[in-house]
Amino acid sequence: MTTRDLHPRYMRATTALREHDAQCTTCTPAARCPEGARLYESFSRLQDAYLNHNRNGR
Ligand SMILES: [Zn+2]
């Protein structure tokens, strides 16, 4: 996988999480609803992959 592929996915996950947080009344910084947890997990996985890729890559 290349950074070029990762970046749009990372951005989409960031947007999805942010939009969820803006609307969800259940999520708090300490505890997320199931949907929020799912979005956060995919966001943090993509963020790790993206940041690691940038650090090690090219
Ligand atoms: Zn939520």
> Where in the chain are the domains?
3-56
Q: What is the structure's pLDDT at 53?
A: 84
Nearest to 10 by CA among 33, 32, 2: 2
Residue 29 CA, ligand 1 centroid: distance in Å: 10
30-46: per-residue pLDDT in tens? 899 999 999 999 999 99
**What letter does residue 9 receive in the DSSP assignment?**
H
Q: Which residues surround ligand 1, an ion (CB under 5 A)?
A: 24, 26-27, 33, 36
The pTM (predicted TM-score) of the whole model is 0.82
